Amino acid sequence: MTRTATAPSLGFELGIDEPDWLTCGAKGCAELTMGKLCGKHQRAFEDQARRYMAEQYAVERIEERWQWCERNDPRMAQRIGPIRFRDDGQDGRVHPPSAAISRIMADKRPIVTLVGPSRAGKTCIAAACLRAYSMPDATEWVDATKLGEASMESGLGDRAEYLRRADRAKFLVIDELRDPKHASKAANTYGVINDRHGRMRQTLVTTGMDPAQLSAVFGSGGMERLMEPESALVVYVSRRAA
């Protein structure tokens, strides 16, 4: 007759000490484990730690005055104007900041373009999105003007590193895309955006420029890359009423 050995008899036969079984340390969990947490809660703990590390990494890259911006911070609703998505059409409803940021982060298109006037809250949204990205060591924040300058001088020390950081990030924020008053800077900035699009690396751009202005500065190709529905999620942010 074939006998199936139980764990205790197997441990005895092999001369292995039986482990000291413990109750999982997670509140309300009665699972037995050899460590402090059962497998389910250990994975949850590791996931939470990974998200925390990713957020701290992102915060360090955001300009200091915007580091407070976070999806569920109540100050967001006080600082950000009405948010609408182009996908919803002209009569699309206004989204609260937390819902808008969740929708942005769930979208799979490689480009997010936040369009609106100054002091509308575009940069607050961008900072909160960067903090919400859940992969450690994968985010970067750059100023659009500095990016154009770095691209022109890509072989020079710190400027070369600035460009490398923008290139390797899995999620990149390019803040305040504007007319750099220099054709080469504009072309170089667009080159970074277009290259990242080709590699399907997510890029969030904030700008106060409308499609006509984008086309005049970055060419029709640049405007289409930032605004075409197939590859860009376009979000309009308006100023809050006085």
19 is a domain residue: no
pLDDT at 217 over 80: yes
Backbone angles phi, psi at 51, to 5 degrees: -65, -40
* 221-232 per-position pLDDT tens digit: 999 999 999 999
Q: Considering only residues 169 and 31, tell me which one the structure prediction assigns the higher pLDDT.
A: 169
Residue-number span of the structural domain to which 194 is assigned: 44-237
Q: How many folded domains does the chain comprise?
A: 1
In a domain, 108, yes or no: yes
pLDDT recorded at residue 12: 41
Q: How far apart are CA 16 and CA 10, in angstroms?
A: 8
pLDDT range class, residue 182, cuts 50, 70, 90: confident
**Mean pLDDT across the stretch 173-195?**
89
In a domain, 9, yes or no: no
User: What is the C-alpha separation between 166 and 70, in angstroms, rounded?
Assistant: 22
Residue 116 lies in a domain: yes
Provide, rounded to the nearest whole percent, the portion of the chain with pLDDT above 90.
53
Query: Is residue 21 a part of any domain in this protein?
Result: no
Which CATH number belongs to the domain containing residue 86 in this structure?
3.40.50.300
Give the pLDDT of residue 50: 76
pLDDT at 71: 94
* Domain assignment of residue 154, yes or no: yes
What pLDDT was estimated at residue 58?
A: 82
The per-residue pLDDT of the chain, averaged, comes to: 85
Write out pLDDT tens, residues 1-54: 443 333 444 344 444 555 677 888 888 888 888 788 888 888 888 877 777 777
The pLDDT value recorded for residue 118 is: 94
User: φ and ψ at 239, to 5 degrees?
Assistant: -70, 150
The secondary structure of the chain, three-state, reads CCCCCCHHHHHHHCCCCCCCCEECCCCCCCCEECCCCCHHHHHHHHHHHHHHHHHHHHHHHCCHHHCCCCCCCCHHHHHCCCEEEHHHCCCCCCECHHHHHHHHHHCCCCEEEEECCCCCCHHHHHHHHHHHCCCCCCEEEEEHHHHHHHHHCCCCHHHHHHHHHHHHCCEEEEEEECCCCCHHHHHHHHHHHHHHHHCCCEEEEEECCCHHHHHHHHHHHHHHHHHCCCCEEEEEECCCCC
Contacts of 239 (CB under 8 A, 6+ apart): 81, 116, 117, 119, 120
Quick one: pLDDT at residue 152?
A: 63
Higher model confidence: residue 11 or residue 76? Answer: 76
